[in-house]
Structure 1
Amino acid sequence: MPDIQEHVDTLARKFVPSYRFLRSQKSTIDSSHFIQSEFKSKSIKVLSWNIAKNNYDKIWLRDFLNIRKQYQPDLIFLQEFRLEVGVEKVIEWLDMSWNFAPNFIDAHHQSYSGIFTAARTSSLSKKVIITKHHEPIIKTPKISLITEYPLSHNGATLLAINSHLINFVDINKFRIQLHELELALSAHRGPIIFSGDFNTWSRKRAIILDKAVTKLGLMPVNFAPQESRKIKRFLLSPPLDWIFYRELSQKKTSAQVLDHIYSSDHKPLLAEFSYTDTQQK
């Protein structure tokens, strides 16, 4: 019986030209749009969504603008975001500061693909973590973007992590990516929001993720059962998309999954948090 990896490599050579997917030379592409100097501690509204590279689609844009108008998120995490090469600073539909971390360039479509984080305030710092291992077929890594923002309490800062975890690889490579994130987050003293598409389509992956976030003192957003059922899954698998948090209070009635949205195969996740002096350590 032929080796599975050899079979995958043969398919890759046949259907995906080696020159199509290129490593980006840019760590991040950024835009600062001044709206407010810091996050308001009484309400931090979060939107997290794997948009399946549909942000140039008119239906997706209509959905996104309606979500923004109705829910007014302060912090937006988008995975599988596409940005055309040469127009990096032109996103006319978003009046927020943003950071985009591409994990590859699609030479055929002349576009970047990666992780996109937008906020009502500019980030104080940013860090990109790219996986050492690549997914098969297109041979591209996965990426995480860590941004830090000021909070309106005693110089505290919020660490925001937007992640897309590696898929179609053995479980050890998934564990390695999470361990790298653990190391990066463990140095932060203060509130954290860790969100994205974690590709936890198996119980083993979900257990590894749970151990990692528990070690960091993070809790998952508590979606009501009728909301949780709407989150992207494969058959009876655990959810793929998560929002975790630390040293914040979740406003439980705010946790929603917008299952009326069909412009991506993932549904948008919404949550709202507050932060007070008593939560500081």
Structure 2
Amino acid sequence: MIKLKLKFKITVCLVTLLLFGVTSYVYLVNEANGEKLIMSSAKLPLFLSQCVEETAIQPLDTDGKLNVSVWNIYKQQRSSWNPVLTELVKSSELVLLQEAKLSTGLKNFLQENDHQVLMAKAFKVFKTPIGVMNLAKVAAESACAYQAIEPWIRFAKSALVSKYPLSNGETLLVVNLHGINFAWRLKAYRQQFSLLAEQIKAHQGPVIMAGDFNTWRQGRVDMIGEFTKQLGMTEAKYVIDKRNRVFGLALDHLYYSGLDLIEAHATPTQASDHNPIQASFSLIKKN
């Protein structure tokens, strides 16, 4: 009888600890994900709301040319991130970052560089937001933040859908996203892209969709191919293609429509676990 009581007490304790652990994890995830917020600022980052609008006047391109960089910056975990990002900002009108961690170091970088900042928070770690970020030489006309929840770990991935004026009178729609990672089935992954595809379908004008798509299996690659074909988008062809791969499949992508691609390349760096994509475009002249 004593042994049975002891076993019962042990079982109750284990169940209690398990429930407490699950409850704590759910609380931490909810606290980390929080609201779907967007940050918009020329200098000091400040989170405002899920969508923002500005009176944008200056075109994003330079005399009909547009340089775009795409980089998963790996939460700035490697010390050499600053000089690499500095070079990308200098050579690009638009830099699209994934896994940007709004640390003191990145805040200082943003204040020292004269670029407009947009950020869509995915989640927070010790009150520090992490998500996707746009660095542009001009302000966006509008931007909205979107979140998609990882099915297993429940932490969020984020995306930014923003619009920038161009010198030919058109408006460029830019989708900067970090794709859901920890899910074998395609349901959540498809839902994330379906929401963004609706924004692209509704837009009249050129489009760039880029980021870390986490296309580590063929089913994901095929699904993205279906979406982009329906949207009339083309994937960049790389002169040098050193994009990071898992199972032989590239994780990072840049798709576009309504622009002429001049050149694209992805060269190695030790500053992140992803190599940046750099692409040059020219605007299509309107009659």
TM bin, normalised by shorter chain, reads: 0.7 to 0.9
Distance in 1 (CA, whole Å) between partners of 2:84 and 2:42 is: 24
Aligned-residue CA RMSD in angstroms? Answer: 2.6
Which of these residues, 271, 279, 285, is aligned with residue 263 of structure 1? 271
**Given that residues 56 and 165 in structure 2 are in contact (C-alpha distance below 8 angstroms), is that contact kept between their aligned partners in structure 1?**
no
Which residue identity lines up with residue 66 of structure 2 in the other structure? I
Matched ranges for 1:228-247 at <5 A: 228=241, 230-236=242-248, 238-247=249-258
Instruction: Name whichever of 23-32 and 183-192 sits farther off.
Output: 23-32
**Given that residues 135 and 141 in structure 1 are in contact (C-alpha distance below 8 angstroms), is that contact kept between their aligned partners in structure 2?**
no
* Normalised TM-score (structure 2): 0.80
Distance in 2 (CA, whole Å) between partners of 1:47 and 1:189 is: 23
1:18: Cα distance to partner? 4.6
1:239: Cα distance to partner? 0.9
Distance in 2 (CA, whole Å) between partners of 1:25 and 1:84 is: 19
% identical aligned pairs: 27
Distance in 2 (CA, whole Å) between partners of 1:173 and 1:26 is: 18
Which residue identity lines up with residue 134 of structure 1 in the other structure? E
Matched ranges for 1:185-196 at <5 A: 185-196=200-211
1:98: Cα distance to partner? 1.1
Structure 1: tracts of 5 or more residues without a match: 1-9
Q: Secondary structure of 1:44's match?
A: strand
Distance in 1 (CA, whole Å) between partners of 2:271 and 2:226 is: 33
Give the corresponding residue for 2:140: 123
1:135: Cα distance to partner? 4.2
Give the corresponding residue for 1:7: none
Distance in 1 (CA, whole Å) between partners of 2:192 and 2:166 is: 28
Q: Secondary structure of 1:214's match?
A: helix
Distance in 2 (CA, whole Å) between partners of 1:129 and 1:215 is: 22
**Given that residues 24 and 102 in structure 1 are in contact (C-alpha distance below 8 angstroms), is that contact kept between their aligned partners in structure 2?**
no
* Normalised TM-score (structure 1): 0.81
Which residue identity lines up with residue 231 of structure 1 in the other structure? R
Distance in 1 (CA, whole Å) between partners of 2:37 and 2:245 is: 31
Give a deviation string over 1:236-278, Cα, whole Å, max 9, x none.
2x211001100100003xx11121x111110010001111324
Give the corresponding residue for 2:12: none
Give a deviation string over 1:114-164, Cα, whole Å, max 9, x none.
010111110000112212x42423x212111011001111x3100111011
Which residue identity lines up with residue 136 of structure 1 in the other structure? W
Distance in 1 (CA, whole Å) between partners of 2:178 and 2:155 is: 12
Pair 1:65–1:35, CA change in 2 (3 A): farther
1:19: Cα distance to partner? 4.7
Give the corresponding residue for 2:166: 151
Distance in 1 (CA, whole Å) between partners of 2:79 and 2:233 is: 36
Which of these residues, 161, 172, 181, is aligned with residue 187 of structure 2? 172
Q: What is the total number of aligned residue pairs between the two structures?
A: 251
Give the corresponding residue for 1:92: 111
1:20: Cα distance to partner? 4.2
1:66: Cα distance to partner? 3.2
Q: Secondary structure of 1:92's match?
A: helix
Is 1:248 the counterpart of 2:259? The answer is yes
**Given that residues 29 and 88 in structure 1 are in contact (C-alpha distance below 8 angstroms), is that contact kept between their aligned partners in structure 2?**
no
**Given that residues 36 and 146 in structure 2 are in contact (C-alpha distance below 8 angstroms), is that contact kept between their aligned partners in structure 1?**
no
Q: Secondary structure of 1:209's match?
A: helix
Is 1:181 the counterpart of 2:196? The answer is yes
**Given that residues 49 and 78 in structure 1 are in contact (C-alpha distance below 8 angstroms), is that contact kept between their aligned partners in structure 2?**
yes
Pair 1:54–1:19, CA change in 2 (3 A): farther
Matched ranges for 1:3-42 at <5 A: 13=21, 17-21=25-29, 22-25=32-35, 27-32=37-42, 37-40=58-61, 42=64
**Given that residues 231 and 240 in structure 1 are in contact (C-alpha distance below 8 angstroms), is that contact kept between their aligned partners in structure 2?**
yes
Which of the pair is proportionally richer in helix? 2
Distance in 1 (CA, whole Å) between partners of 2:60 and 2:80 is: 30
Give a deviation string over 1:202-254, Cα, whole Å, max 9, x none.
11100000110111111011113xx22x1111132x211001100100003xx
